[in-house]
């Protein structure tokens, strides 16, 4: 099993490297996050053994339970929506939160962070689809959230995240480019450095790397298909 994960991980690294090379980027600038929602602890332990350094989870509770049973020097990333009432629990479980969608939740989670720990890294999730059914802020509202996150205690804003709308690679490509351009715009108008772009999942991560992703979030490409919900 570990062998299988080692091989899949190598394949992913190669695909990232080829995509990066196509646009003259270094593969070292792309961090692969292993998305372990619905993956059992034993298999996550194998993945860490196979070299995985970054773990992504959707739910605070599930991540806390898993983290308590795993060791290894890995960074934990929260990818799913964060409710204010879970902020305290999230503050000491994660290293990076990709799903900030209001200055209020950022303030709450930052305030709950141990003042002696390094600040949590945070990304503002941006919704780029046509339908407002998903989480994240609309592009027009992103500036206010970025400004609201600047200078908070316990939390350090580092970039933007998006989930590509459904509809295939052309649509994903447009969304990834939009996120990058929005980031460039926000850096100009707010003077807040936003080096990280979290975009790209198993179906579209190579396109995301070509468009500037610094973090790709991969579940199925590493662990195979998830059981149907």
Tokens, residue 16: 């990232």
* Spatial CB neighbours of 95, under 8 Å, sequence gap ≥ 6: 75, 76, 77, 120, 121
3-state secondary structure of 153: coil
Per-residue interface string for the shown chain with ligand PLP, residues 29-58, x marking contact by CB under 6 A: ------x-x--------------------x
Stretch that binds ligand PLP, among 13-21, 126-134, 175-183, 213-221 (CB under 6 A): 213-221
Q: Interface with ligand PLP includes 201 (CB under 6 A)?
A: yes
Residue nearest to ligand PLP (CB): 219
Other CB atoms within 10 A of residue 40 CB: 11
Q: Interface with ligand PLP includes 89 (CB under 6 A)?
A: no
Q: Interface with ligand PLP includes 18 (CB under 6 A)?
A: no
What distance, in Å, lies between the first and last C-alpha atoms of the chain? 24
Sole residue written with tokens 């998006």: 162
Nearer to ligand PLP among residue 37 and residue 177 (C-beta): 37
Nearest to 127 by CA among 118, 135, 119: 135
Q: How far is CA 198 from the centre of its chain?
A: 5
Tokens, residue 117: 């720990």
Which residue among 75, 202, 210, 214 contacts ligand PLP (CB under 6 A)? Answer: 202
Helix (H) or strand (E) holding 24: none
Q: Interface with ligand PLP includes 172 (CB under 6 A)?
A: no
Q: Interface with ligand PLP includes 63 (CB under 6 A)?
A: no
Report in angstroms how near the CB of residue 117 gets to ligand PLP at its nearest.
Answer: 24
Which residue among 15, 66, 67, 217 contacts ligand PLP (CB under 6 A)? Answer: 217
Which residues contribute to the site for ligand PLP (CB under 6 A)? Answer: 35, 37, 58, 79, 163, 201-203, 217-221
């Amino acid at each position: 099993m570990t062998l299988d994960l080692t091989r899949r991980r190598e394949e992913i690294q190669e695909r990232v490297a080829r995509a990066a090379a196509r646009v003259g980027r270094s593969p070292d600038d792309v961090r692969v996050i292993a998305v372990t929602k619905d993956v059992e602890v034993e298999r996550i332990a194998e993945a860490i053994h196979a070299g995985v350094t970054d773990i992504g989870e959707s739910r605070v509770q599930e991540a806390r339970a898993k983290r308590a049973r795993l060791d290894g020097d890995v960074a934990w990333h929260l990818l799913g929506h964060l409710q204010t009432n879970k902020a305290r629990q999230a503050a000491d479980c994660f290293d990076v939160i990709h799903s900030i969608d209001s200055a209020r939740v950022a303030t709450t989670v930052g305030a709950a962070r141990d003042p002696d720990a390094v600040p949590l890294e945070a990304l503002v999730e941006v919704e780029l689809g046509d339908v407002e059914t998903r989480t994240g802020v609309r592009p027009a509202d992103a500036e206010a959230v970025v400004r609201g996150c600047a200078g908070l205690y316990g939390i350090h804003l580092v970039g933007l995240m998006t989930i590509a709308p459904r509809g295939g690679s052309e649509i994903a490509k447009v969304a990834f480019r939009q996120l990058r351009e929005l980031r460039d715009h926000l850096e100009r108008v707010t003077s807040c450095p936003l080096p990280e772009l979290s975009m790209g999942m198993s179906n579209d991560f190579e396109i995301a790397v070509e468009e500037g992703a610094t973090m790709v979030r991969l579940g199925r490409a590493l662990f195979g298909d998830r059981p149907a919900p």
